[in-house]
């Protein structure tokens, strides 16, 4: 079964410094992978997705992620954090159920804290 592990429950950075949010995945086939962001009291918003095209995926708001098959990783990065980046980030993998339905499997989330 497909799964994702987010290695940090909390990450703290200073404004203007780089952001690294780590995610490892487990999949028996080439997966579709996503990063979603959730701001306080809001729904989830797609940041970026990997679907077996380019391994370096660029998303919104300056975020990007690199798919590394050899390391089964899909880490999220941003060169310079902004205060507005403070939110919960979810790494997500898609999996196919017995019915053929494609289900999203969510990691437990990483809370990004940005200090001035």
Partner 1 sequence: NAGVTQTPKFRILKIGQSMTLQCTQDMNHNYMYWYRQDPGMGLKLIYYSVGAGITDKGEVPNGYNVSRSTTEDFPLRLELAAPSQTSVYFCASSYGQGRAGDEQFFGPGTRLTVL
For partner 1, the binding residues (CB under 8 A) are: 9, 32-34, 36, 41-46, 49-52, 90, 92, 94, 99, 101-109
If the CB atoms of residues 34 and 75 are measured against partner 1, the closer one turns out to be: 34
Nearest approach, Cβ of residue 103 and partner 1 (Å):
6
Question: What b/e sequence results for 39-78 when a residue is b if at least 16 CB atoms lie within 10 Å of its CB, and e otherwise?
Answer: eeeeebeebbbbeeeeeebebeeebbbebeeeeebbbbeb
Nearest approach, Cβ of residue 95 and partner 1 (Å):
11
**β partners of residue 10:** 111
**Position of tokens 């708001």?**
61
Q: Read off the tokens for 40.
A: 């306080």
If the CB atoms of residues 97 and 116 are measured against partner 1, the closer one turns out to be: 97
Nearest approach, Cβ of residue 67 and partner 1 (Å):
12
Nearest approach, Cβ of residue 46 and partner 1 (Å):
5
């Amino acid at each position: 079964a497909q799964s994702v592990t987010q290695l940090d429950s909390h990450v703290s950075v200073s404004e203007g410094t780089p952001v690294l949010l780590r995610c490892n995945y487990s999949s028996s086939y080439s997966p579709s992978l996503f990063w979603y962001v959730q701001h306080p009291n809001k729904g989830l918003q797609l940041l970026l997705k990997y679907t077996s095209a380019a391994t370096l995926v660029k998303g919104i708001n300056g975020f990007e992620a690199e798919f590394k098959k050899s390391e089964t990783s899909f880490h999220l990065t941003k060169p310079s954090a902004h205060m507005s980046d403070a939110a919960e980030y979810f790494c997500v993998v898609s999996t196919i159920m017995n019915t053929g339905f494609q289900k999203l499997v969510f990691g437990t989330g990483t809370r990004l804290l940005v200090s001035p």
